[in-house]
Amino acid sequence: MKKIIFYTLAALLLASGCTKVDENIYDKYTADEFYADPKGPDIALASVYARMPQFGGGDNGYYDTNNMSTDEQVVPHRVSGDWGPENAYLYTRAWTPTLGQINTTWNACYNSIYLANLAVDQLIKANAPAAKISEVKILRAWFYYLLIDDFGDVPFYTDNNITTAQLKTQTRSQIFNWIVTEITSNADQLPETKGGVFYGRFNKWAAYTFLAKMYLNAGVYTGTPKWAECLAACQKVASGGYTLHPGTSNASSPLGNRYFELFGDVCPDDETILAIWLKRNVIGNNVLALRSVNGPNGLAMFGFSGWNGTIVPEETYNKYAAEDIRRKQFLIGPQPGGVTYTPKVSSLINPGAGITEGVRGVKFYPVAPNDGSGSSNDFPIYRYADVLLMIAECHLRLGNAAAAKPFIDQVRLRAGLAALPGNPSLEQIYDERGFELNWEGHRRQDMIRFGTFTLAHGLVPAVDSHWQLFPIPTAAMNANPNLKQNPGY
């Protein structure tokens, strides 16, 4: 399955960098002829999908901006001098508009939107198949979704023939409405195919999951909740035949359970709705496990020295029940390589954490090819477990806790836990989302939606509500005098 996307991307690189590929002389084609060719639309789409790896499993970019600012992980400064304080600034809500990760996040989204605009324009002019145009439109909308989620009101454009000074900011609500329209106008044009050529691409079910996410957070984005609409979108996805991947024991798995196949080389398409395809030194890199473990521990487990970076906060680790199979992703106590991890962290920034302080996370246990720079684990964007928990939340927020119970129980039972003894509370759904989706990029949204993001936790003080948005990066403000900084920065 991965080879399909790899060959498409390879075709893109060859088409842009060579004058002859086999017998096709690409520089003799006009743009219209090229994109009207059956292979042309796939190349246009590949150029946009090639941007996605930076949004999952990478270092010092979008993933860290959105995950280090939650209660589920942080890279502390170490007393050894390893690691700067930047990720700890994210965790403690001490970031500024000059922080590199925030600037990288902004640039990654807008670079992706530029390529998506180009692809939409090329495919429309070439009268490409409607499904291809719909796919790239939804992909473009997804990048705008990431922007409004992080920054609120942002510059909006769908035509690249515009200067920076001409860019105008639209409100979060305006862009929300545009995104929803893009999805609802195009989702049914997409195929229902799972895996194969659609592994790592938006199919119909991924588009409706994206729509559910928009409605799930509509109260945050627009001030008007849309729980019934979110429930309807989730039920549409549920009709696609997805199931939970087995949570049975597997002695051949390094973490002892089939559940963790969801975070391996190829995300299983029984549960995975959309994944980011990663292959070390080819397209993207998954650093998450290697970045977490200590040097000798990584060498003993993976064959490569660990970076001794990311830790899981003690209070987050302690919330997992002992019988929960998802607890196996964490390393605590004596480990291979003569390392013993202690859960308590004395300091995040000054003087910093001890060398072996902090619980470590290996949910994305490295798969080959891998080396000291990372691994090839794919990254799930949307999973059916998330959809089940969204359904449960919507039922509960709509006043029907009894209807919510079977959906949260499915996720709990797969994890080796008992069904809830009674109807779920919002707090139980919030906690279950944290247990199930840990390190997968959903926690910041969940914390903001449930009203916990600004509360104190662990070594983090309480803050005011302006921290629920990131600042517009200083570099972007300098480049565009029309931009207005978010309040509080």
Q: Which helix (H) or strand (E) holds 188?
A: none
Please answer whether residues 349 and 90 qualify as being in contact, where contact means their C-beta atoms are separated by less than 8 angstroms: no
Which contacts qualify for 15-21: CB closer than 8 Å, 24 or more apart?
A: 15/43
Provide the whole-model pTM: 0.93
Decide which of 221 and 252 is more confident: 221
For residues 149 and 47, what is the distance between their CA atoms, to the nearest angstrom?
24
Please answer whether residues 433 and 442 qualify as being in contact, where contact means their C-beta atoms are separated by less than 8 angstroms: yes
Which has the minimum average pLDDT: 16-25, 174-183, 226-235?
Answer: 16-25
- b or e along 414-435 (b: 16 or more beta carbons within 10 Å of the residue's beta carbon)? bbbbeeeeeebeeebbbbbbbb
Residue 33: which pLDDT band, with cuts at 50, 70 and 90? low
User: What residue type is assigned to position 450 of the chain?
Assistant: F
The pLDDT tens digits for 376-389 are 999 999 999 999 99
Residue 34: which pLDDT band, with cuts at 50, 70 and 90? low
**Distances in whole angstroms, Cα of residue 22 to Cα of each of 15, 42, 49:** 11, 18, 24
Give me the mean pLDDT over the 164-185 stretch: 95
Give the pLDDT confidence score for residue 12 in this predicted structure.
Answer: 34
For residues 182 and 421, what is the distance between their CA atoms, to the nearest angstrom?
42
φ/ψ of 256, rounded to 5, equals: 80, 15
Sketch the domain layout of the chain as residue ranges: 1-74+94-190, 288-377
The mean pLDDT of the chain is 92
Asked if residue 26 has pLDDT above 50, the reply is no
Residue 4: which pLDDT band, with cuts at 50, 70 and 90? very low
CATH number assigned to the domain covering 1-74+94-190: 1.25.40.390
The pLDDT tens digits for 330-354 are 999 999 999 999 999 999 999 999 9
